[in-house]
Structure 1
Amino acid sequence: MIATTSRPALAAAPAGHPVLRGLLSKPYPAVMGILNVTPDSFSDGGRFVEPERALAQARRMIAEGADIIDIGAESTRPYGAQPVSADEERSRLQPILADIVSLGVPVSIDSMKSAVVTWALDAGAAVANDVWGLQRDPDMAGLLAARNSPVIVMHNRDRVDPDIDIMKDIAAFFARSLEIAAKAGISPGNMMLDPGIGFGKTPEQSMTALARLNEIKAFGLPLLVGASRKRFISSVVPSEPDQRLGGSIAAHLVAAQGGARIIRTHDVSETVQALRVAAAIEERR
């Protein structure tokens, strides 16, 4: 189990922001649809670069049951991703963000740059998804506190180390992120934690994090899990990213059982169906 002595005292925090209250109000996990407007994302890079295709995909995911759309304009895949400037991220987002916001579901901006997040919040995005958990851009926490914005705090590492205790590493990382958040004045009710499946982890460490989500729940914050099409699935059953639907659903059902309240996925329709059927069966226990 994660030791509690090294992290800030934190009571269980009910969602304070209306967007989070809405997402967490369902009897089954909310579903976040992934929309990458990038040429090089690991699974769907290049498919939704054209604004018309991106908007059509957002509409499709909403029709399939997505509760929130997560838009990313810079690939953060573990291997071979090319960093881009804030200006380039904004140029990719500018033709589509306002139109997707107008579709009526909350929009999350997947960026580690405070300049991009500022621009996206001004354009109507409701949530910041920081894959470096407030620890990469020194201006991120202050911005989110000032804007009273919900934030997804994800665990990450610069390099994979198969010899570490990944759960201790996740605990120490989140303790630091929550310290940064507290100093900046971010309300605990505006935060979610994401164990960062596939980020800075071996496949075995990713599966350990999924299996032991209950330890991360000890921080008292809602959990988001995104295992969609991740490489660890291929370590169990060799497969390409677009052949990992079954493994993705299996991982997400385990995550839901372990307490995840939001599931981030490329495959919205199938994931919504799986989560709702699992919840219906659980009601009859």
Structure 2
Amino acid sequence: MNPIPARAQYAPAWRLARHRLCLSPRCLVMGVLNVTPDSFSDGGAWYDPQAAIARGRALAAEGADILDVGGESTRPGAAEVPVEEELRRVLPVVKSLAAEGFLVSIDTRKAAVAGAALAAGAAIINDVSGGNFDPQMLPLAARTRAGLVLMHMRGTPTTMRRHAVYTDVVSEVKAELCTSAARAEAAGVAREAIVLDPGIGFAKTAEQNWTLLAHLHELCKLDYPILLGTSRKSFLASLSDPPSSSAARGATTGEMHARDLPTAATLVAGRLAGAAIFRVHHAALARAVLAVADRLREAQSP
């Protein structure tokens, strides 16, 4: 049984300490800003702080509502980055973009990194571990009243592939997300501050990712907004990568960009299912296709 019962509709806003983000009728776009040398899609491209800051401005100009700054790759098999190094990567970028008035989220599993980023001006914590990696993360989110994204993942980026074993992936992901949300609320995080992410690509096989997408409407019945992150992920490779591409060597930059079109299709599907926030690399494309999906949702309303 789910710890928190599903409801027909959540309140159409995301409450942060200093912001209230409306989630209806227009959805939100979260732009990916990886300040890393090894992220799966664009590792190294924005590793220099000034390049990352310029990229953040560009994402906002393309239509991103939120800039999601991360200093640790969470691709399958990625090693953990020390706190000091993660801070060195993200803090100059967070501080600069927040000072310019952009809404910034910090993509981290570590409370020390999240706390420093919030002090530097970030407003949202995006925790891929769902609050499970660092026991100080949920109390930090409660104390600061930051927005909190809780993603579904089993294990860590290093071990998650071996945990992609489910009897019913939809019901199990749903139940585990509800458990994460219940833990956050028990720690003092306001329900209106919580967003849930099914964790496409994290401890899931390609087929399980497609199943979750096909049944995303079930997760959208929960009493929390849903964030969807499908952008350029490997389960889309069979639809876009050339037959000669090799998973062993990793996708080329061109192959990654070719995944933007299938990504766009998943965004429309996700929006029609009820997801409210979309984490993407190509903000302009996302904004364009999601505008269509928003209009379709309006037309479906009685």
Letter of the structure 1 residue corresponding to residue 51 of structure 2: R
1:30 to 2:35 alignment: no
1:198 to 2:201 alignment: yes
Aligned partners of 1:162, 1:139: CA distance in 2, in Å?
28
Q: Quote the residue 1:253 is aligned against.
A: 268
> Could you tell me whether the CA contact under 8 Å between 1:59 and 1:103 is conserved in 2?
no
Q: Quote the residue 1:50 is aligned against.
A: 48
> Could you tell me whether the CA contact under 8 Å between 1:228 and 1:265 is conserved in 2?
yes
2:286 to 263, 271, 275: 271
1:210 to 206, 210, 213: 213
1:90-129 equivalence runs, <5 A: 90-129=87-126
Q: 1:16 to 1:245 in 2, by over 3 A?
A: closer
Aligned partners of 2:283, 2:55: CA distance in 1, in Å?
11
1:152 to 2:130 alignment: no
Letter of the structure 2 residue corresponding to residue 194 of structure 1: D
1:224 to 2:227 alignment: yes
Q: Quote the residue 1:262 is aligned against.
A: 277
1:21 to 2:27 alignment: no
> Could you tell me whether the CA contact under 8 Å between 1:86 and 1:116 is conserved in 2?
yes
Q: Secondary structure at the match of 1:219?
A: coil
Aligned partners of 1:146, 1:283: CA distance in 2, in Å?
37
Aligned partners of 1:59, 1:182: CA distance in 2, in Å?
34
1:7 to 2:10 alignment: no
> Could you tell me whether the CA contact under 8 Å between 1:13 and 1:188 is conserved in 2?
no
Letter of the structure 1 residue corresponding to residue 63 of structure 2: G
**1:192-214 C-alpha deviation (Å, 9 max, x unpaired):** 01011111100111111111111
1:69 to 67, 73, 81: 67
Deviates more, 1:89-98 or 1:232-241: 232-241
RMSD over aligned Cα atoms: 1.9
> Could you tell me whether the CA contact under 8 Å between 1:23 and 1:67 is conserved in 2?
no
**TM-score w.r.t. structure 2 length?**
0.87
- The runs of 4+ residues in structure 1 deviating greater than 4 Å are 9-13, 281-285
**TM-score w.r.t. structure 1 length?**
0.92
**1:66-119 C-alpha deviation (Å, 9 max, x unpaired):** 10100000000113x121011111011122221111232210000000110010
Q: Secondary structure at the match of 1:138?
A: coil
- Structure 1 unaligned segments of length 5 or more: list them: none
Identity %: 40
Letter of the structure 1 residue corresponding to residue 20 of structure 2: R
Deviates more, 1:210-219 or 1:6-15: 6-15
How many equivalent pairs are there? 279
**1:253-282 C-alpha deviation (Å, 9 max, x unpaired):** 100011111111000011111111333355
Report the CA distance between 1:219 and its aligned residue: 2.1
1:130 to 119, 127, 132: 127
